[in-house]
Chain A
Amino acid sequence: MARRSILSESDADVQLDLSPMIDAIFILLIFFIVTTVFVEEPGVEILRPDATIAQDLEKNSILIAISADNKVIYGGKELGVAGVGARVKQMLMQDDLPVIIQADSLSDHGVFSDVWSEMKSAGATKISISTRRD
């Protein structure tokens, strides 16, 4: 019986069967494609108010934040109350998305109300107030 070196035997003809890995990766890929929503988050820390009757809101929405010092923020940039209307109108032209106002508990009601009116006049039909998630 010919002795064969351990090294020489394995090297040349080893073929990994990659198809199960491809299957797994495909499943992951499809999962991520399906769950991805491209939402621009305001990117500010908001202390949301508490509510007991809150319901789940739609994931694919326009998010506009009002910080504790009454700044109106969209997508990491400060908009100002006057800029909300134009921005929302522009977004709604592409797609009829719901709008969510993420206002801080300590922000003024007046600012919230102004933002609300701006959205209404821009044609937003579904406006929600974000509350704390538990």
Chain B
Amino acid sequence: MARRSILSDDDDVKIDLSSMIDCIFILLIFFIVATVFVEEKGLQASKPDAAVTATEDESETVILQITADNRVLVQDEEVGIGEVAGRVQTSLVDETTPVVIRAHQSSDHGVFVGVWDAARRGGAEILSFSTVN
């Protein structure tokens, strides 16, 4: 029987890769199926605690109201949704003037977001909301 060196039979070693490919395929298919491409856009909002709102100077605060039938009032005066940004801008004393949105609980969420957006565009930095019954 011929003796063979351990080194000599090197080039003929073939690893059977097909089972590994099977495994990787299964993993790949799992991740393809499980992937959901969630792309959310939105507004970062903050609602101050009751204690904070109490210390605010009421006279300087810009109050935006949304009534139950979705009308918008800026400082007790009815305006269209398109004018809110301009009205907020003129009402602000400086950028630290607090702006409060007081929305009726049965008003539409879409109107609320529209007003929020408009107030931000009008330069309101300190923006909060409260809900009235």
Contact = CB atoms under 8 A, between A and B. Distances in A.
Contacts of B20: 22
A36 B40 contact: no
Chain A: number of interface residues, binned into ranges: 35 or more
Interface residues of B, number: 45
B113 A50 contact: yes
A109 interface: yes
Contacts of B39: 56, 59, 133
Contacts of B14: 15
A60 to B, nearest CB: 8
B38 interface: yes
Interface string A39-66: 1010000010111111111110101001
B42 A110 contact: no
Contact of B40 (A26, A57, A107, A112): A57
B45 interface: yes
A25 B21 contact: yes
B59 interface: no
B49 to A, nearest CB: 9
A129 B103 contact: no
Interface string B26-44: 0110011011111111111
Interface of B: 14, 17-18, 20-21, 24-25, 27-28, 31-32, 34-47, 66, 103-114, 116-117, 120-121, 129, 131, 133
Given A104-B110, A110-B106, 19 more contacts: A15-B14, A22-B17, A36-B35, A49-B110, A50-B110, A51-B116, A52-B121, A54-B43, A55-B43, A63-B38, A105-B110, A107-B109, A108-B107, A108-B109, A109-B111, A128-B44, A128-B45, A131-B117, A132-B41
30 contacts: A22-B20, A22-B21, A29-B28, A33-B31, A36-B34, A37-B36, A37-B38, A41-B36, A41-B38, A47-B110, A49-B110, A50-B114, A51-B117, A56-B40, A57-B40, A59-B40, A105-B108, A105-B110, A105-B113, A108-B105, A116-B47, A127-B46, A128-B40, A128-B42, A128-B43, A128-B44, A132-B41, A133-B39, A133-B41, A134-B41
Interface of A: 15, 18-19, 21-22, 25-26, 28-29, 32-33, 35-39, 41, 47, 49-59, 61, 63, 66, 100, 102-110, 112-113, 116, 120, 126-134
